[in-house]
């Protein structure tokens, strides 16, 4: 039980203060100090009430794991190779259409690949290196190196060498050695730079910023895919390229690239992903494997798991290489077996079991593509591409002296080369589509009905039911008139999530407020104190990802996973708030509630909830709201900091103004709006006039 001295008893002592102070002005100052101190004490008491644990430290993680696991597709059980081939063709088509080439990416896919050749430099015995750059999409150039045998005759195998999260990029020694060894075996090799690495390092290419494109309704995955596809285009355009012998290999993020391009582009006939991926089902429980933005793209797991992509290599060559004590991710013990279990039966249907191989590295066994792993690659290349050749060397050819510096391998790039941020800025200029507000009442009613359906689809809104379980109570205060009562609740939302809530009252409430905050409910004590002083019942909650519902480790990676399985963090949060509002209005008989949100992120999901639940939510008061979603892109934001702000396709159809107009005539009040908000929302009050409920969202809040 929390107790405090009441304000009345504190202020009753003012006489003794008067004897100590010399003038009436000092007396007023002293009274203000005492009142301020009392308010501070009460805020501290409220914070303690709000901070009391309700769901504990582990429930949020367990629930999001179950939520995602239930949505990951499982491998089918085909009876024939033909049956699987039809299944694989359908998956391939769906991944490309529904995940990779959405939005503007469809036009990028069809653009002509421009290639600029630069100088050729001496490589080593028997090969040369030609510098080039090619466009992954219009205006985004990829620097690359073509390792070309000096004596070429007829058709020879080709290889695409990709790399992972390696700062040196294409110049890293183990990648150079791999490229050199393949060239010395008579292969043409394209060593490409990865987005965000080597020459493409920079603030606009940070992988967590690819989601800026997602916000605009264009797949952030598409530049990654197109960089690989165009690389294959360059390779196969070579007059000596053999289209039946096409290899792709890479470590870590390069392993991820390898399985993505190889499973989806059937021109690849041999793939060697090294420590690059695992099944989504594996990742959920092995958190070292949770992938970055490109590895966990929006909606991929609605179509396929990585187990499917692995099996889709059949009957082509596949060498799965993993490391036994990997110090990064995808350790062999947990990552490899599920992939072999998925792909093995499929290769057997094709009677091509020998084309599916695995290699587990013990020395050094850490995250690597060093000599032993490279020699496993050379061995399968020899078997599948040079079958019958007794002269093909399966041991590595020593070439360390031929490794060059990054400066020697530098490829000139245009100064205005595009990146994720520049692409998103360009896309955002014309968004949202059809963003003009309606001009008549009839138009407004139709507009709101159509847009509500559209918004629900975009955020994946769920009309969940909230069920309450009491979790204790407490009080703060002395005299009955001052006493604050606190009741804690575990609110079960649908069959998926539990939201902790603390209900605060003083006396008989005049209204009910749901309070949410970016910093969590415990840090919103000051706002709660003011709302109580205004006579409100305050229900402070922590929706998904915030406060006590925040996952303690790798939280944003689970937010990405939620999006990958076809849901949206923003939709989960808004659906939870709306469900709790309905519970309060119907079960608790409070009538429609107001939602008060503190912070950019909470303001967004509160606004979405108000737009989609207009019966139980009478209005929202937003502290610190964005004026426009475009600010996320203009400030070069990234998804690991604010996952819900990158909801796929939201800005394509809605900005803050359209969301607020959709919530009308429920009152959307912006507290201390920014200059951007004032500029963007200046005409918003017109929608209230049309609906016969005059109100100015930018007017000074009471």
Looking at residue 522, what DSSP letter applies? G
In a domain, 92, yes or no: yes
CA distance 68 to 572: 12
pLDDT digits (tens, 9 = 90+) for 406-436: 999 999 999 999 999 999 999 999 999 999 9
Residues 125 and 91 in one domain: yes
Assigned token pair, 278: 């695992």
In a domain, 39, yes or no: yes
Structural domain that includes position 672? 443-474+487-690
Residues 209 and 286 in one domain: yes
Strand order in the sheet with 667-671: 466-476, 484-493, 497-505, 536-541, 511-517, 593-598, 617-623, 667-671
Looking at residue 684, what DSSP letter applies? T
β-pairing, 188-192 vs 241-251, is unpaired
CA distance 280 to 307: 8
pLDDT digits (tens, 9 = 90+) for 287-343: 999 999 999 999 999 999 999 999 999 999 999 999 999 999 999 999 999 999 999
CA distance 594 to 609: 11
Residue 118 has pLDDT above 90, yes or no: yes
pLDDT of residue 642: 98
Residues 470 and 345 in one domain: no
pLDDT band at residue 12, thresholds of 50, 70 and 90? Answer: very low
CA distance 341 to 336: 9
Q: What is the 3-state secondary structure (H, E, C) of 211-248?
A: HHHHHCCCCCCHHHHHHHHHHHHHHHCCCCEEEEEEEE
pLDDT band at residue 13, thresholds of 50, 70 and 90? Answer: very low
Residues 608 and 533 in one domain: yes
pLDDT of residue 526: 97
CATH code of the domain containing 612 = 3.40.50.1820
In a domain, 37, yes or no: yes
CA distance 115 to 120: 15
pLDDT band at residue 482, thresholds of 50, 70 and 90? Answer: confident
Q: Lowest-confidence range among 473-482, 514-523, 558-567?
A: 473-482
In a domain, 69, yes or no: no
In a domain, 568, yes or no: yes
pLDDT digits (tens, 9 = 90+) for 612-663: 999 999 999 999 999 999 999 999 999 999 999 999 999 999 999 999 999 9
Residues 396 and 452 in one domain: no
Residues 526 and 493 in one domain: yes
Residues 449 and 420 in one domain: no
Which run of H or E residues covers position 669? strand 667-671
pLDDT band at residue 15, thresholds of 50, 70 and 90? Answer: very low
Residues 409 and 503 in one domain: no
Cβ neighbours of residue 694 closer than 8 Å, sequence gap 6 or more: 685, 688
CA distance 322 to 335: 8
Nearest in space to 278 (alpha carbons), one of 332, 324, 345: 332
pLDDT of residue 471: 87
Residues 459 and 373 in one domain: no
Nearest in space to 575 (alpha carbons), one of 606, 600, 602, 540: 606
pLDDT band at residue 9, thresholds of 50, 70 and 90? Answer: very low
Q: What average pLDDT does range 140-154 have in this prediction?
A: 97
Assigned token pair, 661: 């107009």
Cβ neighbours of residue 685 closer than 8 Å, sequence gap 6 or more: 694, 695, 696, 697, 698
Q: Lowest-confidence range among 3-17, 112-126, 192-206, 443-457?
A: 3-17
In a domain, 167, yes or no: yes
Residue 29 has pLDDT above 50, yes or no: no
Residue 447 has pLDDT above 80, yes or no: yes
Q: Lowest-confidence range among 8-22, 302-316, 374-388?
A: 8-22
364 prior amide bond cis, ω within 30? yes
Q: What average pLDDT does range 282-289 have in this prediction?
A: 96
In a domain, 340, yes or no: yes
Instruction: Give just the sign of the alpha carbon dihedral 434, 439, 442, 444.
Output: positive
CA distance 28 to 37: 14
Residues 126 and 218 in one domain: yes
CA distance 499 to 463: 15
The total number of structural domains in the chain stands at 3
CA distance 187 to 200: 26
pLDDT digits (tens, 9 = 90+) for 252-279: 999 999 999 999 999 999 999 999 999 9
pLDDT digits (tens, 9 = 90+) for 569-620: 999 999 999 999 999 999 999 999 999 999 999 999 999 999 999 999 999 9
Q: What average pLDDT does range 434-448 have in this prediction?
A: 95
In a domain, 578, yes or no: yes
Q: What sections of 326-470 are H helices per DSSP? A: 332-349, 371-385, 420-428, 441-459
Residue 36 has pLDDT above 90, yes or no: no
pLDDT band at residue 41, thresholds of 50, 70 and 90? Answer: confident
Residues 408 and 300 in one domain: yes
Q: What average pLDDT does range 675-695 have in this prediction?
A: 96
CA distance 650 to 629: 9
pLDDT digits (tens, 9 = 90+) for 509-521: 999 999 999 999 9
Residue 23 has pLDDT above 60, yes or no: no
Strand order in the sheet with 270-274: 115-124, 127-137, 140-149, 188-192, 156-161, 241-251, 270-274, 317-323, 356-361
Residues 377 and 498 in one domain: no
CA distance 519 to 504: 19
Nearest in space to 607 (alpha carbons), one of 671, 653, 657, 673: 657
């Amino acid at each position: 039980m929390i107790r405090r001295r009441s304000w009345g008893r504190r202020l009753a002592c003012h006489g003794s203060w008067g004897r100590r102070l010399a003038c009436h002005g000092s007396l007023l100052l002293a009274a203000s100090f005492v009142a301020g101190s009392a308010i501070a004490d009460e805020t501290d008491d409220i914070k303690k009430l709000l901070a009391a644990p309700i769901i504990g430290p582990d429930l949020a993680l367990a629930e999001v794991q179950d939520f995602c696991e239930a949505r990951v597709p499982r491998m089918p059980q085909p009876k024939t190779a033909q049956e699987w081939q039809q299944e694989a063709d359908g998956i391939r088509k769906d991944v490309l259409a529904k995940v990779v080439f959405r939005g503007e990416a469809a036009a990028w896919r069809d653009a002509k690949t421009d290639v600029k050749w630069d100088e050729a430099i001496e490589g080593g015995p028997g090969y040369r290196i030609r510098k080039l750059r090619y466009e992954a999409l219009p205006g985004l150039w990829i620097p690359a190196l073509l390792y070309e045998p000096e004596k070429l005759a007829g058709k020879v195998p080709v290889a695409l060498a990709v790399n992972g999260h390696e700062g040196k990029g294409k110049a890293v020694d183990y990648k150079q050695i791999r490229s050199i060894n393949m060239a010395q075996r008579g292969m043409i090799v394209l060593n490409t730079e990865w987005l965000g690495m080597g020459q493409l390092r920079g603030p606009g290419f940070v992988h967590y910023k690819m989601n800026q494109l997602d916000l605009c309704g264009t797949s952030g995955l598409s530049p990654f895919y197109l960089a690989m596809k165009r690389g294959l285009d360059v390779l196969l355009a070579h007059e000596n390229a053999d289209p039946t012998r096409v290899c792709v290999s890479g470590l870590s993020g390069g392993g991820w690239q390898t399985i993505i391009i190889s499973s989806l582009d059937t021109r690849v006939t041999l793939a060697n992903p090294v420590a690059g991926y695992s099944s989504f089902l594996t990742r959920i429980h092995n958190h070292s494997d949770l992938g970055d933005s490109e590895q966990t793209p929006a909606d991929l797991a609605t179509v396929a798991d990585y187990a499917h992509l692995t099996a889709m290599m059949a009957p082509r060559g596949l060498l799965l290489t993993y490391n036994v004590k990997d110090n990064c991710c995808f350790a062999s013990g947990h990552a490899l077996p599920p992939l072999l279990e998925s792909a093995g039966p499929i290769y057997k249907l094709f009677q091509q079991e020998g084309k599916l191989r695995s290699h587990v590295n013990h020395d050094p066994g850490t995250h690597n593509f060093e000599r032993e792993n490279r020699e496993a690659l050379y061995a399968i290349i020899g078997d599948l591409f040079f079958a019958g050749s007794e002269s093909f060397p399966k041991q590595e050819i020593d070439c360390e002296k031929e490794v060059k510096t990054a400066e020697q391998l530098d490829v000139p790039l245009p100064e205005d080369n595009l990146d994720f941020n520049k692409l998103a800025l360009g896309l955002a200029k014309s968004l949202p589509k059809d963003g003009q507000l309606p001009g008549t009442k009839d138009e407004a009613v139709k507009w709101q009905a159509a847009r509500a359906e559209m918004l629900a689809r975009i955020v994946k809104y769920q009309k969940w039911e909230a069920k309450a379980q009491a979790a204790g109570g407490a009080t703060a205060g002395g005299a009955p008139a001052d006493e604050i009562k606190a009741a804690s609740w575990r609110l079960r939302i649908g069959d998926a999530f539990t939201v902790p809530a603390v209900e605060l009252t003083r006396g008989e409430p005049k209204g009910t407020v749901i309070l949410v905050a970016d910093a969590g409910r415990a840090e919103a004590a000051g706002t709660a104190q003011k709302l109580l002083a205004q006579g409100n019942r305050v229900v402070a909650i922590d929706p998904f990802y915030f406060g006590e519902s925040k996952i303690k480790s790798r939280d944003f990676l689970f937010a990405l996973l939620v999006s990958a399985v076809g849901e949206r963090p923003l939709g989960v949060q808004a659906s939870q708030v709306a469900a709790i509002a309905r519970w309060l209005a119907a079960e608790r008989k409070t009538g429609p509630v107001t939602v008060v949100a503190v912070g950019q992120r909470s303001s967004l999901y509160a606004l979405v909830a108000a737009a989609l639940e207009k019966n139980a939510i009478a209005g929202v008061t937003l502290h610190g709201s964005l004026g426009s979603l475009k600010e996320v892109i203009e400030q070069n934001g990234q998804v690991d900091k604010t996952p819900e702000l990158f909801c796929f396709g939201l800005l394509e159809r809605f900005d803050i103004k359209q969301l607020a107009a959709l919530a009308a005539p429920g009152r959307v009040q912006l507290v201390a709006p920014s200059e951007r908000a004032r500029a963007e929302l200046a005409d918003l009050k017109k929608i209230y006039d049309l609906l016969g409920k005059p109100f100015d969202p930018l007017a000074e809040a009471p």
